[in-house]
Amino acid sequence: MAPAGRPGAKKGILERLESGEVVIGDGSFLITLEKRGYVKAGLWTPEAVIEHPDAVRQLHMEFLRAGSNVMQTFTFSASEDNMESKWEDVNAAACDLAREVAGKGDALVAGGICQTSVYKYHKDEARIKKLFRLQLEVFVQKNVDFLIAEVSLHVEEAVGCGSLKESDRPVAVTMCIGPEGDMHDVTPGECAVRLVKAGASIVGVNCRFGPETSLKTMKLMKEGLERAGLKAYLMVQPLGFHTPDCGKEGFVDLPEYPFGLEPRVATRWDIQKYAREAYNLGVRYIGGCCGFEPYHIRAIAEELAPERGFLPQASEKHGSWGSGLDMHTKPWVRARARREYWENLLPASGRPFCPSLSKPDD
């Protein structure tokens, strides 16, 4: 199957999902740009869209070439409570960068809204909704195609995103929860129900947990919606790390967070498996979050190429299931040019004195 584009007028996010089309999200910005020297760990605020726009543009382009259908604005923590006077300029610049790159392919622009610092300490509903509306005003002015509210650990706060329906943009809401539910023990199924009742058209999970754990949570969300007789499109964007040992708050409690996570990085073959399992579960918006590199997104696009009907541009230099190794001079390396080899490989970490699992600090 040859790489190809998608000509013609762009369909909206709900139109794509309603037709059964697979929508591929993008991946890691904060963690990746921190590694590249453009983001400071700690507050994880996205000044890079103004200070280093070329770096952000390049990462958007890498995700687009890898197969992403959505350019999400790099606006994590870009709200008034986190950035004071800079937040509005950051949101506007992030929209411009995402729109510029989206215009080079069949991609939509999603305005990204994350949790506030207000809920955890004050639970001030009016203040939370005001913060959401302030970001929303910029996104409406910049004419984003739809909205993604993400990274909330509390369904009560996430439901506040219902105020985003005041715009005419479709709203997706994803939570940072595992199979145990939110921080108040609200189950994933009940979280999904509340989000749909609040006005979300697309619901799911993102960040904090790896692919396997996130798919378990998605299954519980789907079952909750079915029991309630509600319908919504499903979306999953997990970490690009394996985290079977993390606690309820996810990978932030692991001792390796954030600077020692590299041994946990998922392989491209792990991500192909994740993409297939997500698709079989009925999820049609499939992407990634922290640690999810462009080659991971390419793995999703390659695994689901039969359903999508084409390969991404980034596959031009990538043989399916290692087929490019057929040309290697060593016969034992040529023997690895097959799907069975990579599907069954148990990769070593090369660290003989390191444990396979950690104990969360919290």
First-to-last alpha carbon distance for the chain, in angstroms, is: 48
In eight-state DSSP terms, residue 241 is B
CA dist 32 and 162 (Å) reads 30
Q: Within a 13 Å sphere around the CA of 67, how many CA atoms are in the beta-carbon half?
A: 30
Of 34, 23, 9, give the one whose Cα is nearest residue 290. Answer: 34
Q: Going edge to edge, which strands form the sheet with 171-175?
A: 23-24, 285-286, 233-237, 202-206, 171-175, 146-152, 108-114, 70-72
**Residue 246 annotated in ligand binding:** no
Q: Is 161 annotated as a binding residue?
A: no
Are 77 and 114 a contacting pair, CB within 8 Å?
yes
Is position 354 annotated in a ligand binding site? no
Task: Please name the residues in contact with 165: beta carbons below 8 A apart, sequence gap of 6 or more.
Answer: 171, 199
The phi and psi torsions of 155 (rounded to 5 degrees) equal: -65, -30
Binding residues for Zn(2+): 207, 289-290
Binding residues: 207, 289-290
